[in-house]
């Protein structure tokens, strides 16, 4: 199967990186919690979640991380490498909700000497947001490397 390949040189700050939507059924929420080994009943048991003041079973943070990180690598293709991610849960995503994930490039730079393991890498930072019909759910800042034309030319 042909793979996406986005070169660092071709990216512009402000550029959209696409979007997708998923219906988060109870099966999907519980399945995502098991796939991330999260046994908190908040992600498996509607009665428990409601007693804990949630509308219904909620999507767990590792599942959210998986769904939002995927937008970055779907866009870049497999040669884009995730380096640093931050996820902040603002609301909730409950059984039956439709989660829509979208993002854009907010920064493009070469890692500075003071940036430790990112030093010298060709980087972009993506702002990725997910919302449900009820409002904001989770927002993320994702830093990744992209392949460069310069590197390929020198091979």
Partner 1 sequence: MALTEKDTALLGKESEPFYAPDEVSKSMIRHFCEMMEDPNPLYTDEEYARNSKYGGIIAPPQMLMVWCMPRMWPFPEFPWMPMAELELPGVDTWIATDMIHEFHKPVRPGDKLYYIMKLDKVSDLKKTRIGEGHFITTTQTYYNQRREMVGREVRTVLKYKPKEEGEGGQ
88 binds partner 1 (CB under 8 A): yes
Of residues 7, 11, 22, 125, which one binds partner 1 by CB under 8 A? 22
Q: Work out how close the CB of 13 gets to partner 1 at its nearest, in angstroms, rounded to a whole number.
A: 22
Stretch that binds partner 1, among 6-14, 45-53, 107-115, 121-129 (CB under 8 A): 45-53
42 binds partner 1 (CB under 8 A): yes
Counting beta carbons within 10 angstroms of the beta carbon of residue 8, is it exposed (0 to 12), middle (13 to 18) or buried (19 or more)?
A: buried
37 binds partner 1 (CB under 8 A): yes
Of residues 26, 28, 96, 106, which one binds partner 1 by CB under 8 A? 28
Query: Cα(4)–Cα(7) distance, rounded to whole angstroms?
Result: 10
Query: Cα(76)–Cα(89) distance, rounded to whole angstroms?
Result: 24
52 binds partner 1 (CB under 8 A): yes
DSSP per-residue codes, 87-139? EEE-S--BTTEEEEEEEEEEEEEEPPGGGGGGTT-EEEEEEEEEEETTEEEEE
Query: Cα(23)–Cα(96) distance, rounded to whole angstroms?
Result: 7
Of residues 23, 47, 82, 110, which one binds partner 1 by CB under 8 A? 82
Q: Which of residues 120-149 bind partner 1 (CB under 8 A)?
A: none
Residue 137 backbone class (left: φ over 0; alpha: ψ -120 to 50; beta: rest): alpha
**Chain residues that interact with partner 1, rule: CB under 8 A:** 1, 3, 22, 28, 31-32, 34-40, 42, 51-54, 58, 60-63, 65-67, 69-70, 73-74, 78, 81-89, 117
């Amino acid at each position: 199967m042909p793979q996406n390949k986005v070169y660092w040189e071709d990216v512009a700050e402000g550029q959209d990186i696409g979007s997708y939507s998923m219906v988060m059924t109870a099966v999907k929420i519980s399945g995502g919690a098991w796939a991330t080994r999260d046994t908190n009943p908040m992600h498996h048991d509607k009665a428990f979640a409601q007693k804990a003041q949630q509308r219904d079973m909620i999507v767990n943070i590792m599942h959210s991380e998986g769904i939002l990180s995927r937008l970055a690598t779907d866009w870049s293709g497999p040669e884009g490498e995730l380096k640093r991610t931050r996820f902040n849960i603002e609301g909730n995503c409950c059984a039956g909700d439709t989660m829509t994930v979208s993002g854009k490039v907010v920064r493009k730079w070469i890692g500075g000497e003071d940036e430790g393991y990112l030093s010298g890498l060709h980087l972009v930072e993506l702002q990725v947001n997910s919302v449900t019909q009820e409002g904001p759910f989770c927002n993320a800042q994702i830093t990744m490397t992209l392949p460069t034309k310069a590197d390929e030319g020198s091979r």
